[in-house]
Amino acid sequence: MNTSSDTARRVLILLVLSVAINYFDRGALSVSAPLLRRELSLSPTQMGLLFSAFFWSYSVFQLASGWLVDRYDVKRVFAAGFLLWSLATAAVGWITGFGWLLCARVILGIGESVAYPAYSRILARDFPEHRRGLANSLVDAGSKVGPALSTLAGGLLVDRFGWRALFLGIGLGSLLWLIPWMTFVPSRAGSGRVERDGGAGLLDIIRRRETWGTCLGMFSLGYVWYFLLSWLPSYLVNERGLSMRGMAVLGSLPFWAMAATSVLGGWLSDWRIARGAPVTRVRKSFVAGGLLLCCVTLLPAAAVSDPNLSIVLLIVSCSSLGLFTSNVWAITQTLAGPEAAGSWTGIQNAVGNLGGVLSPLLTGLIVARTGSYYFAFATASGVLVLGAASYLMLIGEIAPLKWKRDPVTQGF
């Protein structure tokens, strides 16, 4: 590692905690939806709009966030974003109307847009190839633990204290994370202006076929992941007849399983690469195989009549998706290199999270029009095939690309 082992370990632990908080905050609306919707008299279409609104700003601001973490001190840029998204979460606890709730979701997206460019910038610089899979998978596991806790603990809290207490508690409580981040993480850890001979501006990255391969793959993940994150609690309550307490327990299981397989996949891929297996074959087998395995189990989860079997199939689907997420960011970081990882991640997340814009909104429209979730599951399954094809057909060898220009001096 480029930093000391103790510093790198400390930073990684805080990154994992931050992404868990990140997803707990953005998932709070989903777990609150059955009660919030009734109290504020919101239609399925309005709920779909609220789920989607987060991704309007989250996607657009990825480009600016990627540029910022490549140019400025990632510690302070990330802290500013964290503060903004925590306050936006807490604000929902006082909101009484649809318009203000929509505004809070947009601000939440702006704050959280800084997270993944910062993660990618830090890990690309401080972790070598044979350790990058596990480091990324631990961060990714945090993104699954967050929704799992949001569904389990959040659902129980909403059932006992109401949805407003959930937003106030997690929004204000998460601010405590900033204390160790500002105290113990060295300034400019994993980012900042550095001396180097070459680099890439945003246009250089956009022109690469590999960029669009990772972007389409991320779009498929974004569509399916945010379909589940946004609508799974409502699906289990409204379609499968679970109580809020039952939804909280059973609905969290797919996310726990996804976190476990992500860490397993990250460790296993690093283990194979460290023992001489080709990086390209290892990384592609995990990402393409994970998407296809998810596809073949997701649609049956909506088709079976037994609610328990549906939960089992959802667990298998999310476990398969965990194999994909364990390696997806390692591919981007290897291709981009530390000099362009933040900017590439910003582009990739901007395109990828268009799936997050489309998925919740389209699902709301489908459910409102058909009265069923089946066609929403079918659409998500088709998108998974597109994602697998993009990695297999648009990305060649997974090795560092050579850049001609410096992203720090060239910027946009």
Mean pLDDT taken over the chain: 84
SS3 content of the chain, % helix, strand, coil (to 5): 85, 0, 15
Give the residue extent of every domain in the chain.
5-183+199-406
Cα 95 to the center of its chain, rounded Å: 26
CATH number for the domain whose boundaries are 5-183+199-406 = 1.20.1250.20
Instruction: Please report which helix (H) or strand (E) contains residue 367, including its range.
Output: helix 354-370
> What is the Cα–Cα distance from 99 to 103, expressed in whole angstroms?
6
C-alpha span between 116 and 366 (Å, rounded): 30
- 215-274, pLDDT tens digit by residue? 999 999 989 988 887 788 788 888 888 887 787 778 778 888 888 898 899 899 989 998
Question: Rounded to whole angstroms, how far apart are CA atoms 115 and 81?
Answer: 8
What pLDDT was estimated at residue 196?
A: 42
CA-closest candidate to residue 338, choices 133, 141, 194, 139: 194
What confidence tens digit (pLDDT) does each residue in 23-71 have?
Answer: 888 878 878 887 888 878 777 778 878 877 887 888 888 888 888 887 8
Q: Which residue has the tokens 């297996």?
A: 277
What's the rounded Cα separation, in Å, for the pair 136 and 262? 9
Q: What is the largest CA-CA distance in the chain?
A: 60
The per-residue pLDDT for range 322-355, each reduced to its tens digit, is: 999 888 888 998 998 877 888 888 888 888 878 8
Which of 401, 391, 407 is CA-nearest to residue 343? 407
